[in-house]
Amino acid sequence: MQEVRAGKREQILDVAGVNVIEKGFAATSIEEIIVEVGITKSGFFYHFSDKNELAKALLQRYIDMEEDIFRDIETRAYELNDDPLHGFLISLKLLAELAEDLPNGHPGCLIASYCYQSQLFSADIRDLNAQALMAWRMRFQRQLEKIAKTYPPRMEVDLADVADMLSAVADGGIILSRVMHDKSILPRQVMLYREFIKALFITH
Amino acid sequence: MQEVRAGKREQILDVAGVNVIEKGFAATSIEEIIVEVGITKSGFFYHFSDKNELAKALLQRYIDMEEDIFRDIETRAYELNDDPLHGFLISLKLLAELAEDLPNGHPGCLIASYCYQSQLFSADIRDLNAQALMAWRMRFQRQLEKIAKTYPPRMEVDLADVADMLSAVADGGIILSRVMHDKSILPRQVMLYREFIKALFITH
DNA sequence: TGTTTTACTGTACCCTCGGTACAGTTGACT
DNA sequence: AGTCAACTGTACCGAGGGTACAGTAAAACA
């Protein structure tokens, strides 16, 4: 078997993942993927019936990875401080540090990337994308509502919007970092969002 | 002359602009553009030496249009209230209303779209993109510093970050709106940023 | 009025890429 | 020994980006 290391399917996803984030899905040719992996075109189509299947697998893997990251951060944060507000503030600090430690900055958000190429993909991929953002909203909103029980919000805001704002600031921060070639922007934006959370829940 | 209405060059940019925002640059074929405009391939290459030139013209036009919109909003806002803080808050309200009134939601930010396809473009296009974001930062930062003179900030924040946050929230809000099929997200995010500005500068 | 320029059209061609089809091969497992 | 998973090899199709270059109709200029 040619499966020298870790299976070609995973290697295809690795290579495709990097290239899609770099130049977009349409501009990532199957040709360049198979060359980089060291595989034939037949090999590629053995694993994925068409390019759309690759896109779906890529997105699913990305969503699962992000889910893992958020779950880990949340777990660690509430281990350090089980108060809902301070746990959340620690989560945000950990998130900012994670972004800061990436050597070349955040590589990019696949959901944002797909968003601007959505017409290329089938409806189920667009649904997957929407579900992922909805899951993030739920995750953050749940924590915010827990906070609000002990710390009544000092402004009249919809906590779903506040939850969405973290996704927005993160996706926007990634774009700013990439375009302006300044990887510090993303972690700074996360920390600024953290200031907003403090202003929203803490009385001074 | 076949120039029945408004010049083919502008029509090419109109059609390409819509399609690029919808499905990305690489996925927008010259073929479909010329069919929609009613022109031949030769006609296309008469106006643009290659696809990269189209991308550049498209981006430049987009940046100029956004510049006009921001300038108009700023002018109108400070006509209504010449206090720096309240003028800025009115700007944000006007911006949110503008986003709300778009029948199909915001079509998308070309800068964000290009960001995830940057490897397709020449260095001067990437520079143009970075300059545009820098111009937005300067525009907002200038206003924030004016505010800070009369209203000392109630948190320790870098005003350049606060300025960037508007770009981030806007770009992120557009992505969330598009992916989640909810055009209200973008205006709500802008209004939430407005709450942050109030919390940052107003003492209660 | 003649000439030049602008804004295209028409034709023909090359290369890359996504995708299809299908037969063959190789190593692991049963 | 036979089956199956994971490929390779070959051959081909159509769409799309891009090139090259000759021709043309109308407007602008001199």
Distance A15 CA to C30 C1' (A): 35
Report how far residue A200's alpha carbon sits from residue A155's, in angstroms, rounded to the nearest whole number: 6
Indicate the length of chain A as a whole number.
Answer: 204
Nucleotide minimizing C1' to CA distance for residue A49:
C19
pLDDT value, residue B8: 85
B residues 158-187 lying closer than 8 A (beta carbon) to A: 158, 161-162, 164-165, 167-173, 175-176, 178-181, 185
For B42-90, write each residue's pLDDT tens digit.
Answer: 999 999 988 999 999 999 999 999 999 999 999 999 999 999 999 999 9
Answer yes or no: are the C-beta atoms of A165 and B189 closer than 8 Å.
yes
Taking an 8 Å cut-off on Cβ atoms, the answer to whether B165 and A162 are in contact is no
* Exposed e or buried b per residue across A94-112, where buried means at least 16 C-beta atoms within 10 angstroms of its C-beta: bbbebbbeeeebbebbbbb
B residues 99-128 lying closer than 8 A (beta carbon) to A: 108, 111-113, 115-120, 126
Q: Report yes or no: B32 at the A interface, CB cutoff 8 Å.
A: no
**Residue among B27, B30, B33 at smallest CA distance from B15:** B33
Answer yes or no: are the C-beta atoms of A203 and A172 closer than 8 Å.
no
Tokens of B27: 């996925």
The one-letter code for the residue type at A156 is E
Q: Tally DSSP H helices, then E strands, for chain A.
A: 9, 0
**A21 Cβ contact partners less than 8 Å away, ≥ 6 residues apart:** A107, A108, A110, A113, B116
Which uninterrupted H or E stretch holds B136? helix B123-150
**Residue among A78, A106, A105 at smallest CA distance from A91:** A78
**B79 Cβ nearer than 7 Å to chain D strand:** no
Nearest Cβ partner for A169 among B126, B168, B204: B168
% helix / strand / coil in chain A, to the nearest 5? 75, 0, 25
Report how far residue A113's alpha carbon sits from residue A122's, in angstroms, rounded to the nearest whole number: 15
Answer yes or no: are the C-beta atoms of A81 and A90 closer than 8 Å.
yes
pLDDT value, residue A6: 59
One pLDDT digit (tens) per residue for chain B, 204 residues: 333 445 889 999 999 999 999 888 888 989 999 999 999 999 999 999 889 999 999 999 999 999 999 999 999 999 999 999 999 999 999 999 999 999 888 999 999 999 998 888 888 899 999 999 999 999 999 999 999 999 999 999 999 999 999 999 999 999 999 999 999 999 999 999 999 999 999 986
pLDDT value, residue B1: 39
pLDDT value, residue A119: 81
Q: DSSP per residue over B62-115, as a string?
A: HHHHHHHHHHHHHHHHHHH--SHHHHHHHHHHHHHHHHHH-TT-----HHHHHH
Report how far residue B32's alpha carbon sits from residue A157's, in angstroms, rounded to the nearest whole number: 45
Distance B43 CA to D24 C1' (A): 13
Q: Which of B114, B175, B189 has the most A C-beta neighbours within 10 Å, making it the best mutation to test the interface with A?
A: B175
Q: Which domains does chain A have, with CATH numbers?
A: 1-48 (1.10.10.60), 62-201 (1.10.357.10)
One pLDDT digit (tens) per residue for chain A, 204 residues: 434 455 889 999 999 999 999 888 888 989 899 999 999 999 999 999 889 999 999 999 999 999 999 999 999 999 999 999 999 999 999 999 999 999 888 999 999 999 998 888 888 899 999 999 999 999 999 999 999 999 999 999 999 999 999 999 999 999 999 999 999 999 999 999 999 999 999 986
pLDDT value, residue A120: 83
Which positions in strand C are less than 7 Å from the protein's CB atoms? 6-12, 16-23, 26-28
Nearest Cβ partner for A164 among B111, B116, B185: B185
Nearest Cβ partner for B188 among A111, A126, A161: A161
pLDDT value, residue B119: 81
Nearest Cβ partner for A134 among B175, B180, B192: B180
Please list every residue in chain B whose beta carbon sits closer than 8 Å to the beta carbon of residue A126.
179
**B52 Cβ nearer than 7 Å to chain D strand:** yes
Report how far residue A48's alpha carbon sits from residue A46's, in angstroms, rounded to the nearest whole number: 6
Report how far residue B67's alpha carbon sits from residue B65's, in angstroms, rounded to the nearest whole number: 5
3-state secondary structure B145-203: HHHHHHCCCCCCCCHHHHHHHHHHHHHHHHHHHHHHCCCCHHHHHHHHHHHHHHHHHCC
Report how far residue A10's alpha carbon sits from residue A15's, in angstroms, rounded to the nearest whole number: 9
* Angle subtended at Cα A167 by Cα A161 and Cα A169, rounded to the nearest 5 degrees: 95
Report how far residue A94's alpha carbon sits from residue A71's, in angstroms, rounded to the nearest whole number: 12
A residues 76-95 lying closer than 8 A (beta carbon) to B: none
